[in-house]
Chain A
Amino acid sequence: MADAPEKARDPEKEKRKIKSVSKMKEIMTNYYIEAKTARDSGKKVAWITSGGPVEPLIAMDVIPVYPENHGAMIGASKMGVDLCEKAEEMGYSRDLCSYARADIASAATNGGPIGGLPEPDFLVCCNNICGTVLKWYEVAARYYNVPLFILDTPFVHREFSDAARDYVIRQIYEYIDFLEVQCGKKADFDRMQEVGKLSVESMRLWQAVLDVAAHKPAPMSAFDAFFHLALIVTLRGKPVVVDYYQGLLDEMNERIRDGIAMVPNEKYRLLWDNLPIWYKTKWLSEKFASHDACLVADTYTSAWSGVLPLIDENNFLETMSVAYTKIYINISIDLMIDKLREMIRKYDADGLVMHSNRSCKPYSLGQYDLQKMVMKELKIPTLIIEADMVDERQFSESQIDTRIDAFMETLKS
């Protein structure tokens, strides 16, 4: 008997698929293989927070590993609940960030989609994203019995004083001293500068990729940005990122030329705030698309390139440290609303969808105030979805379904 013919693919859907995706998967797979086999190749592994300055690590030939990216992978592969429950059995509170819970449990059990992260030789923690990472990395430092470097970035209300600037810059040099000790070699500042240039170049390209969604209809959505984000987070400073994003940008421009939209009948353009709900991205993107709505941009994926104007390539180390201090999540809501306003205008958004994320307190605190400001000043409707990025127990599908339907009814009426 002949083989059954392959199930016919919907040509419309095929057309919409982003071709670069397979390349991206390949890069990420290679990266994790390299990290997991670092011991054999005599390389050091450092765990680092997502907002931490990674460029010095790359320049020192250390392989950076991101527990938060791993957390996102756990969430996307729907293994979050299992691992969060394990962490709770170990005694961690259910209120702790689900990235932290999932990662801690994965470390203890070698669980998760890649059987746990490679063990670190040392840890680098920058608190520009939250206070949670401090305690989380202290736990990891004790568990693996390895040194921990903490980079303390003061919260930016409105002003950023000279004293604060000096404080951060001084720590960057301490960071490099720390790396010299850990790696047993001197830092090469020319190499540092080179890596810095590549990092800036990748940020520039990443921002250019995100900007294509300003086109109507948008050739990609925030859900695609969530996926493609992994490179700018984990590998910025490496040539492969520059090449990949250049290819992605070319593909996007081609889509614009060919009139390919991510959402077939794009009528409504929405902005997303906060982290993705990793285990529900498909459901959410289909849900919004069923209302002819496209999430064209988000405040999260642009966090890695939003500070670009603050960086001077020729004084990378020092300007970078200031830039890292001023990322979206480390600023007051007075500054956040400036950013939101800019994005709503740039992408011509008809509405704002805010994910009130049970895990990420610093991101979610102030959302109700921001919501009020946006509605009052920019006069666009907003929707708040209560959920969690990894812990599926915090997601109630039928209730969120109703909220989205109601929000879209308001938008359409």
Chain B
Amino acid sequence: MNDQIITVGIDIGSITAKAAVLNGGSIIGSRVQFTGYNAKKAGRDVLDALLADLGIEADRITAIVSTGYGRNNIDFADKAVTEITCHGAGAHFVNPEIRFVIDVGGQDSKVIRLDENGKVTDFAMNDKCAAGTGRFLEVMARALEVDLDEFGSLYARSDHPARISSICTVFAESEVISLISKGESRENIVAGIQESVASRISAMARRVGVAPPVMMTGGVAKNIGAVEALRKKLETDIEVSEYAQVNGAIGAAILARRLVM
């Protein structure tokens, strides 16, 4: 596949903007930065910075596909495709065996079922509620004064995860605060929070029907505690993509390649 065709995927999420570049069908670079207020500018900036990193001139790009909530703002893209299709294509590219993708980002989470060609056969999205998203973990980490990175590893050290029963982020936060005042250990509270995120996501996943092998993508896939809790809930192994956060952008770059091939 060494045809030197350079394609780009740009994924404008609500919190971060991601870009990925493919050359001849291989990933040669990716980048993540904050979206900020202006989606179009974020798309431009993340691409310019990535091209500078890679030492590639913009005029060598053959095609660009944009995705994410800001996809329609990227007017320099050749096509806008939803993150559902892009995440499917990205996961299929990284591992063609994958039949189910769980993507948990900052503001939403989604589950996608794929066939053997990487085509989406069904999907579900939670975009109404912060529970079951990265946002929920962020709010909780703040309440517990724990660094988000540390949050993941604390899960393994818990002996008895606390029960967080509220499904609403705001109520769950006050539940966490009352657990703190009762003297519950930080590890157990953190584990309880991760399990609560996991049960939200697993309910959505089961609705669509989990078909292994499963891959997890999105920023929350970097949180080993949340992944572990989800493994337990779904009773299945979960592969975490090494490109978790830029999976959508990679998928977009793949689709850009299909536009020109």
A residues whose Cβ falls under 8 Å from a Cβ of B: 368, 375, 381, 384, 386, 396, 398-399, 402-403, 405-406, 409-410, 413
A-B pairs with CB below 8 Å: how many? 43
**Is there an interface contact between B207 and A368, defined as CB atoms closer than 8 Å?**
yes
Q: Chain A: which residue is nearest B81 at the CB level? A: A409
**Is there an interface contact between A402 and B83, defined as CB atoms closer than 8 Å?**
yes
Q: How many whole Å from A397's CB to the nearest CB in chain B?
A: 11
Q: Assess A403 versus B125: contact at CB under 8 Å? Given A398-B69, A409-B81, A410-B85.
A: yes
B175-206 at interface with A (beta carbon < 8 Å): none
Instruction: Report how far A386 CA is from B123 CA in the complex, Å.
Output: 14
Q: Chain A: which residue is nearest B120 at the CB level? A: A410
Q: Please, which residues of chain B bring their CB within 8 A of the CB of A409? A: 81-82, 84-85, 120
Q: Please, which residues of chain A bring their CB within 8 A of the CB of B125? A: 399, 402-403
Q: Mark B14-37, 1 if CB is under 8 A from A, else 0.
A: 000000000000000000000000
Q: Assess A396 versus B128: contact at CB under 8 Å? Given A402-B82, A406-B85, A409-B85.
A: yes
For the complex of A and B, list the 3 residue pairs with the smallest distance between their C-beta atoms, beginning with the closest. A406-B84, A406-B82, A399-B127
Kindly identify which residue among A396, A399, A402, A413 contacts B119, using a CB–CB cutoff of 8 Å: A413
- Does B122 belong to the interface (CB within 8 Å)? yes
B71-98 at interface with A (beta carbon < 8 Å): 81-85
Q: Mark B122-136, 1 if CB is under 8 A from A, else 0.
A: 111101100000000
- Does B121 belong to the interface (CB within 8 Å)? yes
Contact-residue size bin, chain B (C-beta under 8 Å from the other chain): 10 to 19
Q: Please, which residues of chain A bring their CB within 8 A of the CB of B121? A: 381, 410
Q: Is the interface of A mostly helix, strand, loop or mixed?
A: helix
**Is there an interface contact between B128 and A402, defined as CB atoms closer than 8 Å?**
no
**Is there an interface contact between A405 and B82, defined as CB atoms closer than 8 Å?**
yes
Instruction: Report how far A403 CA is from B84 CA in the complex, Å.
Output: 9
**Is there an interface contact between B69 and A406, defined as CB atoms closer than 8 Å?**
no
Q: Please, which residues of chain A bring their CB within 8 A of the CB of B207? A: 368
* A402-B83, A406-B82 given; 17 more Cβ-contact pairs under 8 Å: A384-B124, A386-B128, A396-B128, A402-B69, A402-B82, A402-B125, A402-B127, A405-B81, A406-B84, A409-B82, A409-B84, A410-B84, A410-B119, A410-B120, A410-B122, A410-B123, A413-B85
Q: Please, which residues of chain A bring their CB within 8 A of the CB of B120? A: 406, 409-410, 413
Q: How many whole Å from A2's CB to the nearest CB in chain B?
A: 39
Q: Please, which residues of chain B bring their CB within 8 A of the CB of A386? A: 128
Q: Chain B: which residue is nearest A398 at the CB level? A: B69
10 contacts between A and B (CB under 8 A): A384-B124, A399-B108, A399-B125, A402-B83, A406-B84, A406-B85, A410-B119, A410-B121, A413-B119, A413-B120
Instruction: Report how far A129 CA is from B69 CA in the complex, Å.
Output: 38
Q: Please, which residues of chain B bring their CB within 8 A of the CB of A402? A: 69, 82-84, 125, 127
B54-69 at interface with A (beta carbon < 8 Å): 69
Q: Please, which residues of chain B bring their CB within 8 A of the CB of A398? A: 69
Q: How many whole Å from B19's CB to the nearest CB in chain A?
A: 20
Instruction: Report how far A381 CA is from B125 CA in the complex, Å.
Output: 15
Q: Chain A: which residue is nearest B72 at the CB level? A: A401
Instruction: Report how far A405 CA is from B120 CA in the complex, Å.
Output: 13
Instruction: Report how far A399 CA is from B125 CA in the complex, Å.
Output: 9
Instruction: Report how far A398 CA is from B80 CA in the complex, Å.
Output: 14
Q: Mark B95-127, 1 if CB is under 8 A from A, else 0.
A: 000000000000010000000000111111101
Instruction: Report how far A396 CA is from B69 CA in the complex, Å.
Output: 12
Q: Please, which residues of chain B bring their CB within 8 A of the CB of A399? A: 108, 125, 127-128
Instruction: Report how far A413 CA is from B258 CA in the complex, Å.
Output: 13
Q: How many whole Å from B192's CB to the nearest CB in chain A?
A: 28
Q: How many whole Å from A405's CB to the nearest CB in chain B?
A: 5
Q: Chain A: which residue is nearest B207 at the CB level? A: A368
Instruction: Report how far A196 CA is from B128 CA in the complex, Å.
Output: 47
Instruction: Report how far A406 CA is from B87 CA in the complex, Å.
Output: 11
Instruction: Report how far A406 CA is from B121 CA in the complex, Å.
Output: 11
Instruction: Report how far A403 CA is from B121 CA in the complex, Å.
Output: 14
Q: Chain A: which residue is nearest B87 at the CB level? A: A406
Q: Chain A: which residue is nearest B127 at the CB level? A: A399
Q: Please, which residues of chain B bring their CB within 8 A of the CB of A403? A: 125
Instruction: Report how far A381 CA is from B123 CA in the complex, Å.
Output: 10
Q: Please, which residues of chain B bring their CB within 8 A of the CB of A396? A: 127-128
Q: Chain A: which residue is nearest B125 at the CB level? A: A403
Q: Chain B: which residue is nearest A394 at the CB level? A: B128
Instruction: Report how far A346 CA is from B123 CA in the complex, Å.
Output: 27
**Is there an interface contact between A406 and B123, defined as CB atoms closer than 8 Å?**
yes
Q: Please, which residues of chain A bring their CB within 8 A of the CB of B83? A: 402, 406
Q: Please, which residues of chain B bring their CB within 8 A of the CB of A405? A: 81-82
Q: Please, which residues of chain A bring their CB within 8 A of the CB of B69? A: 398, 402
Instruction: Report how far A200 CA is from B123 CA in the complex, Å.
Output: 42
Q: How many whole Å from B109's CB to the nearest CB in chain A?
A: 12
Q: How many whole Å from B76's CB to the nearest CB in chain A?
A: 19
Instruction: Report how far A368 CA is from B108 CA in the complex, Å.
Output: 20
Instruction: Report how far A320 CA is from B81 CA in the complex, Å.
Output: 50
Instruction: Report how far A402 CA is from B126 CA in the complex, Å.
Output: 12
Q: How many whole Å from A366's CB to the nearest CB in chain B?
A: 13
Q: How many whole Å from B18's CB to the nearest CB in chain A?
A: 17
Q: Please, which residues of chain A bring their CB within 8 A of the CB of B81? A: 405, 409
Q: Please, which residues of chain A bring their CB within 8 A of the CB of B84? A: 402, 406, 409-410
Q: Mark B42-62, 1 if CB is under 8 A from A, else 0.
A: 000000000000000000000
Q: Please, which residues of chain B bring their CB within 8 A of the CB of A381? A: 121-122
Q: Please, which residues of chain B bring their CB within 8 A of the CB of A368? A: 207
Instruction: Report how far A11 CA is from B14 CA in the complex, Å.
Output: 41
Q: Please, which residues of chain A bring their CB within 8 A of the CB of B82? A: 402, 405-406, 409
Instruction: Report how far A82 CA is from B131 CA in the complex, Å.
Output: 28
Q: Mark B218-252, 1 if CB is under 8 A from A, else 0.
A: 00000000000000000000000000000000000
**Is there an interface contact between B122 and A375, defined as CB atoms closer than 8 Å?**
yes
Q: How many whole Å from B184's CB to the nearest CB in chain A?
A: 33
Q: How many whole Å from A357's CB to the nearest CB in chain B?
A: 14
Instruction: Report how far A410 CA is from B127 CA in the complex, Å.
Output: 19
